[in-house]
Amino acid sequence: MPHTVIPTRRLLIGAAVALAAPAVWRSALAQGRLRPTPSQTEGPFYPLQMPADADGDLLVLAGRPYGRGRAAWLEGTVSDTDGRALSGAAVEIWQCDPDGHYHHPGDGGRADPGFQGFGRVTVAADGAYRFRTLRPAPYSGRTPHIHLKVKLGSRELLTTQVYVQGDAGNERDFLWQRLCGEDRAALTVPFEPAGDTLRARFAIVVRA
């Protein structure tokens, strides 16, 4: 009489997760590792001093809403290469205003004072993070992008940049052009209409 193998609850759950995952994740999970998000230069405009208002809503500064540019949500998850949520990590973003200026003395103090320009959120238990900001704007020599950094305690785990899928400036941007095809795909995301705003999803994988 042939031996019958009865699947355990753990095996059944594992199979369900594997079938539900996107193809690229199934491939990575089969190998036991997810591909880390590519790093990029910090650039010259990371804040020298953290602003007093540095929350996840860059469109409200000192209680005043910001009315220029196109509002956008930037959201996603942060995990390690084994797929575990990096709860408690900090995600920071910074970007220029609609005229291409940063809140930084190196940019001449020309940034719109009404735009927060920098934000920080703590990663939730399920790995989620979310910012309300602007669709990034171009400036001389650069395609639209948002700078992003992930920290865990005193450690910096990732510094990179997020690009707008389909933006005409990408092909002329020297940093975007240096990326291989796989890295471009990882860092370039669609900013899609979502009601009266835009929404971009950016999954982050770090070596923790």
- Domain range annotation of the chain: 33-206
The pLDDT confidence band at residue 208, using thresholds 50, 70 and 90, is confident
Residue 1 CB: number of other CB atoms within 10 A?
3
Q: Does domain 33-206 have CATH number 2.60.130.10?
A: yes
Q: What is the pLDDT of residue 34?
A: 97
Q: What is the pLDDT of residue 107?
A: 95
Q: What is the pLDDT of residue 136?
A: 98
What does DSSP assign to residue 106? G
Strands (DSSP E) contained in the chain are 60-61, 64-65, 71-80, 90-94, 118-122, 128-134, 145-152, 155-164, 188-189, 192-194, 197-201, 204-206
Q: What is the pLDDT of residue 49?
A: 87
The CA distance from 160 to 38, in Å, is 7
- Nearest Cα neighbor of 143 from 93, 100, 179, 92 is 100
Q: What is the pLDDT of residue 13?
A: 37
The pLDDT confidence band at residue 131, using thresholds 50, 70 and 90, is very high
| Stronger pLDDT, 29 or 59, i.e. the higher one | 59
Q: What is the DSSP string of 26-46?
A: HHHHHTT-PPPPPP----TTS
Q: What is the pTM of this model?
A: 0.84
Grouping H, G, I as helix, E, B as strand and the rest as coil, residue 151 is strand
What does DSSP assign to residue 55? S
Q: What is the pLDDT of residue 5?
A: 41
What does DSSP assign to residue 141? T
Q: What is the pLDDT of residue 57?
A: 98
Pair of tokens at residue 156:
């910096």
Residue pointed to by tokens 């399920």: 126
- Nearest Cα neighbor of 81 from 147, 129, 37, 123 is 37
The CA distance from 65 to 118, in Å, is 15
What would the pLDDT profile of 142-192 be if each residue is shown by its tens digit? 999 999 999 999 999 999 999 999 999 999 999 999 999 999 999 999 999
- For 133, the enclosing helix (H) or strand (E) is strand 128-134
What residue type is 122 in one-letter code?
Answer: T
Residue 15, pLDDT > 50, answer no
What would the pLDDT profile of 93-117 be if each residue is shown by its tens digit? 999 999 999 999 999 989 999 999 9
What would the pLDDT profile of 31-77 be if each residue is shown by its tens digit? 559 999 999 999 999 999 888 899 999 999 989 999 999 999 999 99
